[in-house]
């Protein structure tokens, strides 16, 4: 029973990998040559759009977000585990920064204007936003 | 037989019974014991970036991370760092085979806990490591190549049986093949991958890193049409490994290709511990029986004596019994089927069955002289007695 259960679970994970942003146990190695870059800004309560390359309230983006190729989003990077995976991480990072910068009283939300190149396809532009910080301003 | 098969038609019951027999049949755990030894350093390599951060006063929660579930327990910083160091100690104990079951289970539990702390911790190589550690934790793989076994001998206690039900071995074989199969399949069904776009773009973008190569090599590697063929070779290689491991006729060729494949990946991509782990796991494809081949050496001949010593030293999968032969005898191997092979072909054959030398020696089995000796051996073995 254990063996059958593990085999079925593994087959299920492999199938799930074709549908999910995160592909745990799906073993899709080097899936894409896709690349991406993003202009990430903080949108303040008074409407200013401040690039995250500028430190704010004692925070630095490159200290807050260090993993999964997100440290310098303005630089064009390879999406190691595919674009969907990469953009899911970027979206989660925006939320994490919005939720974990308590000294910042002015940012309402973070926004990333993402340019992505899926393999050899023409570039696509999209926008990701963090959760809105209700206590800002 | 499983309960579900009891009310099934006879042929289904028969298949279920054979399946049960296959999984429950006691087989040698030697390959898993060797994998356990090899897995310890891989775990240390895996833990190194986490421990390095901890030494610099940083842990995962100091920067962006994404828990899988809100309820997943997170430890205070000091306890978390302590747990990582405990994992490192447990990994060493696992490799040495000291309190093997406890050490392996501890290593698995902490590595799994750490990986599942954040989606950002998850990578394919870590998933493979979890699978390997999980199966090593449930298999009795500490009865050989272990401090535990040495302690038992020192105390005069009888050695524990080195055989155990085969299901962990079969499950790990399935997972090993599934990883190559899943990877190959995902590329096969992706037109960009199978058509060469993905590899071509990756190489073109990494052109600056090809500076050390000769111009003609760079020219070939960045040529679009080269990748139309190369991508198919890569995909078919992965699928060949996934399928070919299951047949004895192709297994040695597959192992050779797989090692070359992983070495190439290690030098061309950043894959953390994947290459070391994947090459190490290949030992589980050895036939799970031990000392069923005999290597006869003439102890009065220096070269044979040295060769016997080398085989004893490197025979980590316990393929051979080394026995003395009468003076003047050539080096001789008696294989599982009773057939014999002598002289240089026997040396090549022996080296092709040792984990450390197999990759280098396997091509020698294709040399005409060795092939003739092996064919003759097969004919003798097949002849009626």
pLDDT tens digits in sequence order for chain B, 385 residues long: 455 556 677 777 788 888 888 899 999 999 999 999 999 999 999 999 999 999 999 999 999 999 999 999 999 999 999 999 999 999 999 999 999 999 999 999 999 999 999 999 999 999 999 999 999 999 999 999 999 999 999 999 999 999 999 999 999 999 999 999 999 999 999 999 999 999 999 999 888 777 788 888 888 999 999 999 999 999 999 999 999 999 999 999 999 999 999 999 988 887 889 999 999 999 999 999 999 999 999 999 999 999 999 999 999 999 999 999 999 999 999 998 888 899 999 999 999 999 999 999 999 988 887 777 766 655 655 555 4
Are A57 and A109 found together in one domain?
yes
Contact call for B64 and A119, based on CB within 8 A: no
* Residue A100 belongs to a domain: yes
CA distance A31 to A22: 12
**Which chain A residue has the Cα nearest residue B179?**
A27
Total domain count for chain A? 2
* Residue A137 belongs to a domain: no
Average pLDDT, chain A: 94
Please give the pLDDT value at position B385: 43
Which structure tokens are listed for B322? 């080394």
Contact call for B186 and A7, based on CB within 8 A: no
Buried residues in B212-243 as b, exposed as e (16+ CB within 10 A): eeeeeeeeebeeeebbeebbbebbebbbbbbe
**Which chain B residue has the Cα nearest residue A5?**
B171
User: B321 pairs with which residues across the strands?
Assistant: B294
Are A64 and A125 found together in one domain?
yes
* Residue A73 belongs to a domain: yes
Are A45 and A84 found together in one domain?
yes
Taking the Cβ of residue B83 and every Cβ of chain A, the question of whether any pair is shorter than 8 Å is answered with no
Are A109 and A82 found together in one domain?
yes
Contact call for B120 and A78, based on CB within 8 A: no
Instruction: Provide mean pLDDT across the span A80-97.
Output: 96
Residue B127: strand, helix, or coil? helix
* Residue A109 belongs to a domain: yes
Are A36 and A25 found together in one domain?
no
Taking the Cβ of residue B268 and every Cβ of chain A, the question of whether any pair is shorter than 8 Å is answered with no
CA distance B274 to chain A (A): 11
CA distance B268 to B230: 15
Which pTM value belongs to this model?
0.92
The boundaries of the domain holding residue A21 are 1-29
CA distance B143 to B150: 9
Are A19 and A36 found together in one domain?
no
CA distance B111 to B105: 10
Are A51 and A91 found together in one domain?
yes
* Residue A88 belongs to a domain: yes
Q: What is the dihedral of CA B12, B15, B18, B20, to 10 degrees?
A: -60
Please give the pLDDT value at position B150: 97
CA distance A98 to chain B (A): 11
Are A105 and A58 found together in one domain?
yes
* Residue A136 belongs to a domain: no
CB contact at 8 A, B331 and B296? yes
CB contact at 8 A, B147 and B98? yes
Residue A129: strand, helix, or coil? strand
Are A64 and A96 found together in one domain?
yes
Which structure tokens are listed for B305? 């004596």
Sorted by sequence, the CB contacts under 8 Å of residue A76 that are 6+ apart come out as A35, A36, A37
Taking the Cβ of residue B124 and every Cβ of chain A, the question of whether any pair is shorter than 8 Å is answered with yes
CA distance B127 to B7: 37
Are A24 and A88 found together in one domain?
no
Are A99 and A42 found together in one domain?
yes
Q: What is the largest CA-CA distance in chain A?
A: 61
Chain B residues 199-218 with a CB less than 8 Å from chain A:
199-202, 205
* Residue A113 belongs to a domain: yes
* Residue A72 belongs to a domain: yes
Are A10 and A76 found together in one domain?
no
Which one of A23, A27, A76, A87 makes the best mutation probe of the B interface by having the most chain B beta carbons within 10 Å?
A27
pLDDT tens digit sequence for A14-65: 999 999 999 999 999 999 999 999 999 999 999 999 999 999 999 999 999 9
């Amino acid at each position: 029973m254990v063996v059958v259960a593990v085999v079925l679970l593994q087959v299920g994970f492999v199938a799930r990998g074709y549908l999910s942003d995160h592909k745990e146990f799906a073993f899709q190695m080097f899936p894409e040559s896709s690349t991406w870059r993003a202009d990430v800004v903080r949108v303040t309560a008074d409407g200013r759009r401040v690039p995250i390359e500028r430190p704010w309230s004692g925070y630095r983006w490159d200290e807050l977000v260090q993993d999964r190729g997100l440290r310098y989003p303005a630089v064009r990077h390879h999406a190691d585990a595919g674009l969907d995976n990469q953009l899911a991480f970027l979206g989660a990072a925006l939320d994490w920064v919005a939720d974990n910068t308590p000294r910042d009283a002015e940012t309402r939300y973070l926004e990333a204007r993402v340019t992505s190149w899926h393999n050899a396809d023409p570039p696509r532009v999209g926008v990701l936003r963090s959760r809105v910080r209700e206590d800002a301003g | 037989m499983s309960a579900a098969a009891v009310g099934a038609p006879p042929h289904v019951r028969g298949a279920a019974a054979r399946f049960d027999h296959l999984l429950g049949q006691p087989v040698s755990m030697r390959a898993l014991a060797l994998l356990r030894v090899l897995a310890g350093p891989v775990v240390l390599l895996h833990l190194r970036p986490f421990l390095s951060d901890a030494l610099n006063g940083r842990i995962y929660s100091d920067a962006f991370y994404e828990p899988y579930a809100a309820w997943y327990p997170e430890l205070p910083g000091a306890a978390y760092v302590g747990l990582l160091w405990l994992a490192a100690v447990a990994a060493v104990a696992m490799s040495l085979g000291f309190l093997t079951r406890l050490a392996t289970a501890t290593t698995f539990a902490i590595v799994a806990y750490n990986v599942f702390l954040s989606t950002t911790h998850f990578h394919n190589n870590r998933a493979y490591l979890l699978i390997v550690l999980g199966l090593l934790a449930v298999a009795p793989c500490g009865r050989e190549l272990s401090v535990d076994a040495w302690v038992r001998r020192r105390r005069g206690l009888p050695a524990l049986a080195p055989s155990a039900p085969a299901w962990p071995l079969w499950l790990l074989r399935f997972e090993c093949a599934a990883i190559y199969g899943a990877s190959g399949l995902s590329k096969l069904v992706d037109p960009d991958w199978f058509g060469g776009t993905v590899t071509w773009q990756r190489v073109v973008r990494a052109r600056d890193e090809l500076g050390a190569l000769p111009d003609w090599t760079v020219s070939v590697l960045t040529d679009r049409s080269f990748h139309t063929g190369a991508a198919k070779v890569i995909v078919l290689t992965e699928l060949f490994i996934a399928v070919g491991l299951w047949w004895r006729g192709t297994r040695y060729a597959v192992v050779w290709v797989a090692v070359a494949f992983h070495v190439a990946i290690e030098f061309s991509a950043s894959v953390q511990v994947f290459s070391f782990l994947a090459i190490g796991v290949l030992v589980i494809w050895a036939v799970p029986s031990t000392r069923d081949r005999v290597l006869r050496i003439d102890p009065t001949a220096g070269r044979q004596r040295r060769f016997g010593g080398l085989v004893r030293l490197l025979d980590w999968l316990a393929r051979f019994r080394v026995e003395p032969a009468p003076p003047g005898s050539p080096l001789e191997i008696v294989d599982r089927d009773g057939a014999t092979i002598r002289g240089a072909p026997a040396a090549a054959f022996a080296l092709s069955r040792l984990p450390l030398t197999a990759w280098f020696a396997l091509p020698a089995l294709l040399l005409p002289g060795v092939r003739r000796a092996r064919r003759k051996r097969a004919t003798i073995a097949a002849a009626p007695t």
